[in-house]
Each structure stands twice: as C-alpha cells, then as structure tokens.
Amino acid sequence: MAETPVPQIAQRPKRADGRRNYDALLVAARTAFAEHGSDASLEDIAHEAGVAIGTLYRHFPTRATLVEAATRDGLEVLVSHARDVADRLAPLTALTDWMRHAVVHFSTFRGLVGILAQSMYDEGTPSHAMCAAMHTSGADLLRAAQRAGEVRADLTADELFGLLSGAAWVRETTRAGKDETERFIELVIEGIAVRTAGP
Amino acid sequence: MAETPVPQIAQRPKRADGRRNYDALLVAARTAFAEHGSDASLEDIAHEAGVAIGTLYRHFPTRATLVEAATRDGLEVLVSHARDVADRLAPLTALTDWMRHAVVHFSTFRGLVGILAQSMYDEGTPSHAMCAAMHTSGADLLRAAQRAGEVRADLTADELFGLLSGAAWVRETTRAGKDETERFIELVIEGIAVRTAGP
DNA sequence: TGACTAATCGAGGCAGCCTCAGGTTAACTG
DNA sequence: CAGTTAACCTGAGGCTGCCTCGATTAGTCA
C-alpha cells in the first residue's frame, strides 16, 4: 500500500475568540452549503455565525479554503475507509464499497464534485492535498482488484475517478436517492469489471 | 418511432432592427458562453452585440431563454441525427454513435449539461420542449437496441440519460479531448451492452 | 496591570443582475 | 409624403454579493 500523507493545510487560530468564531463559521458554512450549494452567500454564512464578513475572510481568505475546511473530515474518513475495506473485503467488493462511499461524499452538496475534480489535478488549490491522498487510496484499491483479475487491466485510476465523479455529479444534480445511486454504480462496475463465465 | 414534436418556443421579432439585434445577441452569446461558460456576463454579451442591456432583456427575459436560443440548433441536429442513424446503422452501433454526438453537444460549453439535465424533467424551463424531443430520440434508439438483444433489457431511458450527462459533465469539466471522451463512452457502453459469447 | 498583537468590525468600492420610465424609429396608412 | 402607432431601444438606478482595509477591540502573557 502506497504512503498516504496526512496533510495539515492550515492550523487553527490560537486565540480563544478566534477558535470560537472559526468553529461557528464552519458550522454555518456546512449548513449553508447543504442548503444552497457551494455558491451559498458568504455574507449569509458570516451573519449566521454571528460574525462580521471581515472575520470570515480572515479565517478563510477564499471560498475554496472554506469549502476545503468544511469537507476535510469527510475526505479523511474516506481515505481511512479505503484502508479498512482493503483489509476486510475481497478486492472487487472493497473497490465497489469504497466507490459507493466516495460517490456519496462527493455529492455532499451541489458544487462539491466540481471543486474536487478541479482540485485533484490542480496543485495550488486548498483541497489538492486531500484529493491527492484520496486519489492514492482509490488507485490502491483499483490496483488490488486488477491484480486479482477482477477489474479490466487497462483501466487507469484517472478513468476511475472520471466515472466516480460523473456518478457523483448525476447524483447531486438529480438529487437521486439511495436506489438510483446504487443502480448507477452497478452499471459503472458492470463496465469496468472483468466478466466471470456467462451462463 | 414515436412522434417527435418540433417546438416553436419563441418566434423571432418582426421589426428589422429587432431581428438584427436578436441575431447579434445570439452571436455574442455563443462566443461568450464558449469562453466563459453559461454564467458569462450578460452585460458583456449586450455590449459585445452593440446593444444596451435592456435590449438583451427584451429579447431574452432570462438567462435560460438565451441559452435555449443559443443551443436550439444543436439539439435539433441531434434529434434529426437520431432518425438518420436509426435508418442507416445496426441498433447498438446507432445508439453508440448517437451517444457520442450527444455527449459532445451536451458539453458545448461549461454549464450546459446542468441546464439540460434540469430542463429534461422540469417543464416550464425554456429548453424543456427540445429536451423532451431529444429524450424521445434517445429512448427510441435504446428500445431498438434492446429489442435486438444488444443492450440489457432492464436499462431505462432515464438511466441512459444519466450516464450520458455524467459523461458530458466529465468532458466539460476536465476539458477532455477526443480520445478520452471516446474511451469514456466505450466504458459506459461496456456497462450497458449485453455481452456476446466470451472466450 | 500594561503592553502586544491577534482578531474583529463594517463601511465602501466594485461587478453583475434586472427593471422601468422615457425617448426613438420602423412600418403601415391615407 | 406626413401622420400615427406600437414595437423597440436606452441606460440610470436599486439591489445583492464579493472582497479590502483602516480603525477598533480584546485575549494573552510577562
């Protein structure tokens, strides 16, 4: 298993009021993003957190840094989940299970997939480090499934993430439920899995 | 083949100067959308067309109506292309070919897929009529391929359009080239096609 | 307690959206 | 051709949201 560095992008502020406001902003941001997508009004978020707009910008100089902070935990869970399933499940099952979780996380709120897809290859974006770690996680699972002969050998990790984010985008724009998402992933798996002997 | 109504959403203005400005706006809009995506500045478009902002709003009361007018031709081509391939090609080949064209059109500019995906099921959107016609076209091709036993019988048209728009979204956000797009569609087809006898 | 400086505040400049009251002009009519 | 009319055009102005920055406040530490 390849090394998955744990990125520390921005240490939290030190002063008590600073820490308090930072947390309040994060809570407000998560709510606002869930409701209005990644382009929710920053001034509303600041107001909701009981803080002036300048304070928001002090903690999060760009929208991207706020999104990153609001979604970091979820991505961390995703990365550790990859290690977990790799240990517990058969290769293709592990990959499938992880893909399910990835799609759900990517579509946490409208606009997230776009940001993550961007960050995956664009260093310099706040989310890049976490995305790179996640890329490694996915690639490891893919490689294992390929070694086991369960996934077509010519599929690259980038292609896998293309399929994954496409699925997440569809989920987020159609507000698909559990069943539709499950079905969609099944179709994708069908396309990348090596067929076992037919009837 | 089901009926494909040709919608006439908004007749063009009658007076000469009105028609002239309408056309100029459309040209400017296509350029701007291609360059900046569907959220290009409307004031820039008006200025580029040599017209005041109020004139733009007179012809296109909402951004959606402008997008619709700017992309209607392409959708019409897509619909007639479906009839064409249905006549000329074997069912699965026809479906595949049409999907290729659909993905390319859907990703004409950044933001289009989202609008089309929305319009497909939301009556009351300007693009809905064209989208519905296109839905019919795709469904016809799908049904033919299923009758020929070449595509899994349990795939619905809505699922097909989910896959299609997912592919288009990936193409538009990664600015994928011809090869990547081709590959992506191949993977999708692999997932929905009935496997011919294996080795 | 006083000094230091992190942290906060919010007015203000800017961009883009959209409306509407008033001015202009193409097209038609006698 | 002059008169009439409705279609058309204009752009200032109100609004929302982004982002900055100088003045102010308040934790922290010696």
- Give the max Cα distance, chain A: 67
- Tallying the residues shown for chain B, one arrives at 199
Give the global pTM.
0.93
Rounded to the nearest 5 percent, the helix, strand and coil shares of chain A are 70, 0, 30
Please list the rounded mean pLDDT of every run of 10 residues in chain A (199 residues). Answer: 45 88 98 98 98 98 98 98 98 98 98 98 96 98 98 98 98 94 96 75
Could you count the other beta carbons within 10 Å of the beta carbon of residue A185? 21
DSSP conformational letter for A11: P
Interacting residues of A190 by C-beta distance below 8 A, sequence separation 6+: B190, B191, B192
B39 strand C contact, CB < 7 Å:
yes
Q: Which alpha helices (DSSP H) does B37-127 contain, by range?
A: 42-48, 53-59, 63-88, 91-106, 112-121
DSSP conformational letter for B195: P
Could you count the other beta carbons within 10 Å of the beta carbon of residue B136? 18
Closest CB from A159, A169, A195 relative to B169: A169
Measured from Cα to the C1' atom, the residue closest to D17 is A41
Nearest-CA neighbor of A118 among A63, A173, A74?
Answer: A63
Closest CB from A165, A195, A198 relative to B170: A165
**Cβ-defined contact of A170 to B166 (cutoff 8 Å):** yes
| pLDDT, one tens digit for every residue, chain B (199 residues) | 444 444 444 567 789 999 999 999 999 999 999 999 999 999 999 999 999 999 999 999 999 999 999 999 999 999 999 999 999 999 999 999 999 999 999 999 999 999 999 999 999 999 999 999 999 999 999 999 999 999 999 999 999 999 999 999 999 999 999 999 999 999 999 999 997 754 4
Q: Which of B113, B115, B122, B163 to mutate to test the interface with A (most CBs of A within 10 A)?
A: B163
- Cβ density class B66-97: b for 16+ within 10 Å, e for less: bbbbbbbebbeebbebbeebbeeeebbebbbb
**Cβ-defined contact of B173 to A117 (cutoff 8 Å):** yes
DSSP conformational letter for B89: S
